[in-house]
Amino acid sequence: MAKEKMQIMVCGGTTCSGKHGEMVYDNLKLELEANALENEVNVVRTGCFGLCKSGPVVKVMPGEVIYTGVKPDDAKDIVSSHIMKGKIVERLLFTDPESKKPLTTEKDLSSQKKQIRIVLRNCGIIDPENIDEAIARDAYEALGKVLTEMKPLDVIKIIKDSGLRGRGGGGFSTGLKWEIAYKNKADEKYVVCNADEGDPGAFMDRSVLEGDPHAVLEAMAICGYSIEAHKGLIYIRAEYPLAVARLKTAIKQAREYGLLGKNIIGTGFDFDIDIRYGAGAFVCGEETALIHSMEGLRGEPTVKPPFPAEAGFMGKPTNVNNVETFACISPIILKGSEWFASIGTAKSKGTKVFALAGKINNVGLIEVPMGTTLREVIYEIGGGIRNGKKFKAAQTGGPSGGCLTEKHLDTPIDFDNLIAAGSMMGSGGLIVMDEDDCMVSVAKFFLDFTVEESCGKCAPCRIGNKRLHELLEHITKGKGVPADLVRLKNMCHVIKDTSLCGLGQSSPNPVLSTLENFREEYEAHVTTKKCPAGQCKDLMEYFIIEGNCVGCTACARVCPVGAITGERKEPHVINPAICIKCGACMEKCKFDAIIIR
Amino acid sequence: MSTIKSPADLKKRKAEFLEKMNRKEKIRVRVHLGTSGQASGAKEIFDFIRLELEKRNIEANVISTGDLGYSFAEPTLEVTLPGKNPVVYGNVDKLKADEIIEKYIKNGEYVDGILPVNYQVIN
């Protein structure tokens, strides 16, 4: 084979570009041209390498050599030394902070990256419809180990020691949950996988089921062995047709391979899995409601105790875990509890998948160790706020959570810190808001959702949330009075204290947390009747600054309702009584004469 | 397919598959076709790549997988040339797909839009 062509990759991620990464790219091209090498060496821009702290990053192939902290002037050395003489430019290599030795290749630098993929280890990498590919990446190895070498209590001990906590939101110790289910003796027990992912903006469970269904099946079988259950059920929403189809294929293939069903891996252990469909009710993510829904009853929660581990599905001991929790199990068995416990913070171990959404550049799924700060998530991995705007808040925990603000940017994210900050982990949706978002409207948006999703069983949630929503509606329409803020807060506490299940107990959180962190915005709405972010239509007014208006008539011509009048070459005026606040005039004006006030 | 009867059997099956995969030395293209991929048109790219590779007489294994999580850059696809590390491309439209076939798949020459592995892998 001919000698491999040399190629240079330049990181075009937001952080690297911000540190003159573009100039590095340009200079490399110029330098190659100067040496008549532009046809010999290929230079391309790439996405983020995940080494943002050490950017800009340049990678040279073949050899996968990574240069960090490259300045535009360094292009000369890279070309003259590495490209022309094959001599690596030592001074641009990354120095390992511990060993003080230079790290050369991408592989060496792996541990410097912020993200670790445990849950998402196979997503997008294997063909989910081919069980061989999953097996090639260690699927079912942990199950084999558990069934042949371990007793149920050994497995429970490993999971307990690993410090794994439920990823569905509550953060209860998974090992402890298994232990309780193990200790409750019964002729039949059940393992349930909660795939009723309902938080707006969160889709990690769907991705895992679509990309790596065997991770969940294997973990459910391991759980079954540990709590002495022989039946597994996956409760998944019917709105996830692709996940359902891939799960079905995976279950079928696992049965054919003898990895599910009777006598698994020849060990005599029986375990089979079936799918149950949910109709997409948010409350069915709550475990008692989920179990009722599976039994064919209305999806309504009941009082705990009894906990599902005592009397769950069909009155039998049942262990319910979330998809992401299950996806952590096999690596823990294979790599040990110490390995898992070494990742994360003192009380929150391992990694967490977040679904980044909202006003952020890199929307999508990320997986970071617990304890990563919000700043790292938003500005490094997330690529910063869209259009260079200012960060205002990030909602975690979906409609049950609260918002984190600028003062929380450097707080390590884990279960306990989020609760201390007035929010919660939830399932890991992270919705980012910028300076243009009105926090009262944000709270109203989440309440919209809860009002819609409340099952109606208990009065505080059914009626209380509705009234909360009405109050917020009033405030955003400019009809609020200062006393409303007190009423809001009181009502929130009543709903929280008296609701039956997690839905009602947490639904006022978005209101409480925005009220706490952005009180001045609420006050502006109720006192001066202004929306500082300019989002609440009823509280704003388009206005023409006389001095800036040249009378070009562009705005008057574009106005769909004829609200703008004025003579040619004379300042125009908007009649607020006619204006429908569509904003067309503001877009059209070339002289910045139209403002919102 | 016979059932797996012991952990040793499972290991054997794994080794056999890995060996088969390495022996083939075939170009592998994986289009990330989860729900978010499909929503951004990855299915069209998947069909395009399949058809074009066949038209251009390039023997390759084109498979669909779940999403990688790079929603901001979808559709995404991964190309593995024999003996090389996989390379992921983002924001792939038909034009980009054509460029990937002509430059990367045919000549191993990178094109803009690579999404490097920005995370630590555990196995």
pLDDT classification of B85: cutoffs 50, 70, 90: confident
Looking at beta carbons, which pairs linking B17-26 to residues 24 or more positions away fall under 8 Å? Answer: B17/A132, B17/A133, B17/A135, B17/A136, B18/A136, B21/A136, B24/B61, B25/B82, B25/B83, B26/B59, B26/B60, B26/B61, B26/B82
B69 close to A (CB below 8 A): yes
B25 pLDDT above the threshold of 80: no
**Residue among A5, A59, A111 minimizing CB distance to B109:** A5
Which of B1, B2, B4 to mutate to test binding with chain A, by most A CBs within 10 Å of its CB? Answer: B4
- Using the Cβ of B111 and the Cβ atoms of chain A, whether some distance falls under 8 Å is answered with yes
- Cα distances (angstroms) measured from residue A501 to each of A90, A180, A383, A419, A460: 60, 21, 37, 18, 11
CB contact under 8 A, B118 and A128: no
In terms of CA atoms, which chain A residue is nearest residue B110? Answer: A44
Cβ of A124 within 8 Å of Cβ of B10? The answer is no
| CB contacts, 8 Å: A331 with chain B | 122-123
Confidence bin at A295 (pLDDT 50/70/90): very high
Contact call for A128 and B69, based on CB within 8 A: no
Side chain identity, residue A480: G
pLDDT value for B24: 66
Inter-chain residue contact A362 with B118, CB threshold 8 Å: no
**DSSP H/E element including A402:** strand A402-405
Comparing CA positions, the residue from A134, A296, A271, A135 lying closest to residue A212 is: A134
* Closest to A442 (Cα-Cα) out of A368, A367, A536, A505: A536
Provide mean pLDDT across the span A244-255: 96
- HEC per residue, A82-93: HHHHCCCCHHHC
pLDDT at B28 over 60: yes
HSE-CB at A516 with a 13 A cutoff on CA atoms is 16
- Per the model's pLDDT, the better-predicted residue between A389 and A53 turns out to be A389
Check if B57 contacts A (Cβ < 8 Å). Answer: no
A132/B17 touch (CB, cutoff 8 Å), yes or no: yes
pLDDT tens-digit readout, B33-81: 999 999 999 999 999 999 999 999 999 999 999 999 999 999 999 999 9
Choose the closest CB to A207 out of B17, B21, B67. Answer: B67
Whole-angstrom distance, CA of residue B32 vs CA of residue B39: 11
| Per-residue confidence band for A1, with pLDDT thresholds at 50, 70 and 90 | very low
Please report residues of A whose CB lies closer than 8 A to that of B108. Answer: 4-5
Which residues touch A99 (CB under 8 Å, ≥6 apart)?
A: none
B23 touches chain A (CB under 8 A): no
* Neighbouring-strand partners of residue A412: A373
pLDDT tens-digit readout, A499-539: 998 899 999 999 999 999 999 999 999 999 989 988 888 88
| pLDDT at position A328 over 90 | yes
How close is the nearest chain A Cα to the Cα of B103, in Å? 11
Domains located in chain A, CATH noted: 6-112 (3.40.30.10), 131-337 (3.40.50.11540), 351-434 (3.10.20.600), 439-526 (1.20.1440.230), 541-596 (3.30.70.20)
Exposed, middle or buried by CB within 10 Å (0-12, 13-18, 19+), for A309? Answer: buried
pLDDT band at A16 (very low <50, low <70, confident <90, very high): confident
Structural element, H or E, at residue A494? helix A483-498
ipTM of the complex in this document: 0.92
CB contacts, 8 Å: B65 with chain A: 123-128, 211
User: What is the DSSP track for chain B?
Assistant: -PPP-SHHHHHHHHHHHHHHHHHH--EEEEEE-SHHHHHTTHHHHHHHHHHHHHHTT--EEEEEE---S-GGG-S-EEEE-TTS--EEE-S--HHHHHHIIIIIIHH----S-B----EEE--
Element (H, E) at A35: none
Among A410, A419, A451, A446, CA closest to A431: A446
Of A117, A135, A258, the CB nearest to B121: A117
Flag if B111 and A11 touch (Cβ within 8 Å): no
Confidence of residue A168 (pLDDT cuts 50, 70, 90): confident
**pLDDT, tens digit, for every residue of A85-139?**
888 998 899 888 888 888 888 778 877 888 999 999 999 989 999 999 999 999 9
What's the length of chain A?
597
Query: Where exactly are the structural domains of chain B?
Result: 25-107
Q: How far apart are CA A453 and CA A300, in angstroms?
A: 11
* CA distance, residue A156 to nearest chain B CA (Å): 21
A–B: how many Cβ contacts below 8 A? 192
| Structure-block tokens of residue B114 | 């690579």
A322 pLDDT above the threshold of 80? yes
Quick check: B5 contacting A, CB < 8 Å? yes
* Residue A111, SS3 per DSSP: helix
The pLDDT, as a whole number, for residue B21 is 78
Q: Is the pLDDT of residue A2 over 70?
A: no
B109–chain A nearest CA distance, Å:
7
Q: Are B89 and B77 in contact (CB under 8 A)?
A: yes
Q: Report the distance separating Cα A85 and Cα A562, nearest Å.
A: 71
Which among A26, A109, A116, A117 is the top mutation candidate for probing chain B, defined by the most B β-carbons within 10 Å of its own β-carbon? A117
Measured in angstroms, the CA of A335 and the nearest CA of chain B are apart by: 10
pLDDT given for residue B123 in this prediction: 65
What does the pLDDT read at residue B34? 93
Shortest Cα–Cα distance, A5 to chain B (Å): 8
CA distance A81 to chain B (A): 22
Q: Are A430 and A368 in contact (CB under 8 A)?
A: no
CATH number of B25-107: 3.40.30.10
| Residue among B10, B110, B123 minimizing CB distance to A135 | B10
**A9/B30 touch (CB, cutoff 8 Å), yes or no:** no
CA atoms within 13 A on the CB side of A118: 28
Nearest CA in chain A to B15: A136
Which one-letter amino acid corresponds to residue A581?
A: K
User: Which residues from chain B sit within 8 angstroms of residue A47, using beta carbons?
Assistant: 70, 73, 90, 113-116, 118
User: How large is the average pLDDT for residues A305-317?
Assistant: 94
Are B122 and A115 within 8 A, CB to CB? no
* pLDDT of res. A3: 65
- Residue of chain B whose alpha carbon sits nearest to that of A2: B107
Q: What is the mean pLDDT of chain A?
A: 92
- Partner-chain contact B5 A266, CB within 8 Å: yes
Chain B residues within 8 A of A148 when measuring between CB atoms: 6-7
- Mean pLDDT of the region A372-395: 92
| d(C-alpha B49, C-alpha B55), whole Å | 10
Query: DSSP for A526-594?
Result: HTT---TTS--GGG--EEE-TTT-----HHHHH-TT--EE--TTS--EE-TTT-----HHHHH-SSS-E
B62 in contact with A at a CB cutoff of 8 Å? no
Please list the alpha-helical segments (H only) found in A287-391.
287-294, 323-335, 337-341, 374-375
